[in-house]
Amino acid sequence: MRSCFLTISALFFLAVPSFCQSQNLELRVFDVEGFARSSDDAMVEHWQLPIRTAYRTREEEPAGNDSQGDDVSRADFLVRMIRDSIGPESWDQGGTFMRLNESGSRLMIRQKPDVLSKIERFLKTLATSRRRTFQVEILVVKARVGSLASLGASRYVINGKKFEALRAGKNQGSEILSSATGHAIDGQRIRIRSLEIAHLVGAQSGQIAQSATRTEPNVIKVPRGMDIFVRPSSLPNGSVNLRIQGTLTDDFSLENFESESAGVAAIQLPRMHVRKFTSSGVVAVGDGLVVGCVSSQDENPRFIVVRVTGKVLAAPTLPSIRGLTKVYNAGFLTSPYLGTPAIDLGWTTSGSRLFDSWNKDDPIFSSDRNYFLPETVYDLIRQSVTPRFWEDSLYSLEFLGNQLWVTAGPEQHAGIAKLLNSLSLARGTPMSIASYCLVAKRSIVANLRAQNKTDWLRELLRHPATLRLHSTVGAGETGSRIEWLDGVEFAYVGGAEVDVAQGADIAVPVVEAGFSGFYLRLATCQEGEGFGADFRVQLNYEPNGLTKRTEYKSGDFGFSLPLSDWQQASGHVRLKGGRYTLLAEFGLSDENIALIVTRFLP
């Protein structure tokens, strides 16, 4: 009985390949996980000041991702595309099939060898196009204000040769402090960090039990170094849009605080120089974009240069019985304008904050405004590129993530490529932006204004007695929001929590965070032949770069509180390309005045 079963089984398994051979069909399994899986973006946990964030969280950074895709639906669409485009008549023959596994990562196909070869070639082409990779290079450069200003002639873009010279240390007046390299898929946001994490006893919690007091240390983690986000997106004309969000911190120091209150241990108060910036610029592959803030009071002024290298590949093409199927990268059209959450520059970590109402976001600075929705792109193509073909449903359009899949004829593809290129160019005028916080004598400003020259701000900027307190450079596009922050963040003891119980008392210090420096935010727009910008600016100017303190003592508890003068302004200005425009003006003293000036270079 056993031998009979083996004989029958062997005959059965031998019959399968002979059946396949008679039908001239083969079974292959294709790995499509790379196509089905969405491209995850690096998650931006906090867009706040590092010391403030450390005191607020006191825990590990949250894990996760803010970009999730429907992987199985992407793979299902791939199945439909292959079935309709490659050998469509052959799928009606008996014995052929195409199925996905449950996770959508493997595609099992039983077909003729020539059809399988076509499918394999298309999948390879598609994977290469979708997974095109850019190499992202970041240089942290130490240079004075003059070195940064000299880059204005090239609109703060460094070509490939100059980038190589800068990296090799052949650029006079500049020094490479650090560098980093990463890789990003087209349209994907990556994060490159080079940090030291300082663990310190930054706060205390107290307890009273049975007439005794005790405090327990609360350890906080403060990062210092470089933390940069970059999203490269290829454009139809072969250039690359670079979106950059970054933080540079240095000059980290600690101040010990010891209380005279019984049972309260010493704590450490951190202090560091912080620079934050955002930019959205268009560059050629291989060129570097200059972004950052430089202060005249900073002993280690620095900015960053970001460039991407790699090939921008043509859209893959798939033969179809109804025409040609092409895959277009349209992420730059459908992605939102660059924007970030408002930075909290308040002076406390709990309770009411001085600048809460000032820094709350409003619609004009919203980061979720898309240039086009996918449905709008559909309508534009159907209405402007041979409309009668789409009305007859001869061809198809479908968005998958940032990619537009189009099945159409050569004439339609030529029109679609031209339309997408026009839309990408019209999305927003790319521009380089330089802004300055100038400190000058009132008499000099008055004399230059009295001369009635249109370029008096340029003469003021070049005047030997003018102090360029802060200089910022970056890039943007009309419709986006860009910002810079440059100054010192510090922790200080701003009060005490007193607990009295069971015949004992304890006063635990309350640690708060403050910021002293410069903050500028611009939201740009097109206005006729020129440009406009809504702006917000905050300035705290201390001649020696140190925040003044006032001493306070209550019983056994003594501490010092920061005393700073803040200037704030907001409004809307009209801009002309290449000209200096005055955003705000603040009186610092009887002799000196501060002017916030910006210049757009479209």
Tell me the pLDDT tens digit for each residue of 350-388.
333 333 333 443 333 334 566 778 888 888 888 888 777
DSSP three-state, residue 478: coil
* Contact by Cβ (8 Å): 185, 195: no
What does the pLDDT read at residue 338? 72
Q: How many helices (H) and strands (E) does the chain have?
A: 14, 26
Indicate whether 74 pLDDT > 80. no
Q: Which residues pair with 498 in a beta bridge?
A: 507
DSSP of 547-571, one letter per residue?
A: -EEEEEEETTEEEEEEE--EEEEEE
What does the pLDDT read at residue 275? 92
Q: Which residue has the tokens 């190589």?
A: 164
Q: Kindly report, residue by residue over 251-302, the tens digit of the pLDDT.
A: 898 888 876 665 667 788 899 999 999 888 888 899 999 998 888 877 778 8
Average pLDDT over residues 199-211: 68
Q: Which residues pair with 18 in a beta bridge?
A: none
What does the pLDDT read at residue 504? 59
Indicate whether 115 pLDDT > 50. yes
Mean pLDDT (the chain) is 76
Lowest mean pLDDT, pick from 46-60, 174-188, 227-241, 425-439: 46-60
What does the pLDDT read at residue 46? 59
For the question of whether the overall pTM of this predicted structure is more than 0.95, the answer is no
Q: Kindly report, residue by residue over 307-353, the tens digit of the pLDDT.
A: 999 876 565 565 555 567 777 877 778 777 776 666 666 543 333 33
Tokens of 112: 């003729």
Backbone angles phi, psi at 267, to 5 degrees: -130, 165
Task: State how beta strands 240-257 and 267-283 pair.
Answer: antiparallel
Q: Which residues pair with 476 in a beta bridge?
A: 431
CA pair distance 152, 328, nearest whole angstrom: 35
CA pair distance 562, 547, nearest whole angstrom: 6
Residue 56: which of 271, 354, 360, 349 has the closest Cα?
Answer: 349
